[in-house]
Structure 1
Amino acid sequence: MTLLSRIFRSESLLYVLWANELIRLIWAPQALQAASGWLMIAYAALSLRHVRSGTLILCLPLASIAAILATLFNQWSRVLAGFENAAVFMAFFGSIVLLRALADRRREISTARSLFDGLRPDQTNGAFLVGAHLIGSILVVGVMAILAPILKNDADDTVRRRAAEASQRGMCLAPLWSPFWVASAFATQQIPNVPAWEIMALGLCMAAIGLVTSHAIYARGVGFPDLWNALKGFAPILPAVALCALMIAALSGLAGLGTLKALIATVPILALLT
Structure 2
Amino acid sequence: MLAAVWLLELSNLARPSRLLSALVMAGLLAFVLLALLRASVHIRVLFAGVGGLAASIAAMKSEPALLVAGLERALVFGAFLPSVLLLRATVENSPRIASLREGVEALDGQARENWMVCGSHALGSVLNVGTMGILAPVLGRDTSASDRVALAAASVRGVGTAVMWSPFFVSLGFVSHLVPSVKLWEV
- Shared fold, TM over 0.5: yes
Structure 1: distance between partners of 2:101 and 2:30: 39
Is 1:52–2:44 an aligned residue pair? yes
Deviation, 1:132, is 0.5
- The one of 86, 95, 98 aligned to 1:110: 98
One-letter amino acid matched to 2:83: S
State the TM-score, normalized to the length of structure 1: 0.53
Structure 2: distance between partners of 1:131 and 1:92: 21
Structure 1: distance between partners of 2:112 and 2:33: 40
Q: Which residue of 2 aligns with 1:187?
A: 173
Structure 1: distance between partners of 2:25 and 2:174: 29
What's the secondary structure of 1:140's corresponding residue? coil
Aligned sequence identity (%) = 32
Deviation, 1:69, is 2.3
One-letter amino acid matched to 2:171: A
Q: 1:189 to 1:126 in 2, by over 3 A?
A: same
Q: Which residue of 1 aligns with 2:135?
A: 147
Q: Which residue of 1 aligns with 2:181?
A: none
Q: Which residue of 1 aligns with 2:87?
A: 99
Q: Which residue of 1 aligns with 2:147?
A: 159
Q: Which residue of 2 aligns with 1:178?
A: 166
Structure 1: distance between partners of 2:16 and 2:47: 33
Deviation, 1:27, is 4.1
One-letter amino acid matched to 1:95: S
Q: 1:173 to 1:70 in 2, by over 3 A?
A: farther
One-letter amino acid matched to 2:175: Q
Structure 2: distance between partners of 1:57 and 1:106: 37
For residues 11-47 of structure 1, give each alpha carbon's deviation from its aligned partner in whole angstroms, at most 9, with x where no partner exists.
Answer: x5x5543332133344443320233334445556677
One-letter amino acid matched to 2:131: V
RMSD over aligned Cα atoms? 3.1
Is 1:64–2:52 an aligned residue pair? no
Structure 1: distance between partners of 2:139 and 2:120: 14
Is 1:169–2:157 an aligned residue pair? yes
Structure 1: distance between partners of 2:51 and 2:59: 12
Q: 1:151 to 1:42 in 2, by over 3 A?
A: closer
Is 1:22–2:6 an aligned residue pair? no
One-letter amino acid matched to 1:162: A
Q: Are the equivalent residues in 2 in contact too, given 1:132–1:171 (CA < 8 A)?
A: yes
One-letter amino acid matched to 1:157: A
Deviation, 1:103, is 0.3
One-letter amino acid matched to 1:35: L
Structure 2: distance between partners of 1:38 and 1:70: 23
What's the secondary structure of 1:173's corresponding residue? helix
Deviation, 1:79, is 4.1
Computing the radius of gyration from Cα coordinates, the structure with the larger value is 1
Q: Which has the higher helix share?
A: 1
Higher relative contact order, structure no. (Cα contacts within 8 Å, ≥ 6 residues apart): 1
Q: 1:167 to 1:54 in 2, by over 3 A?
A: closer
One-letter amino acid matched to 1:151: L
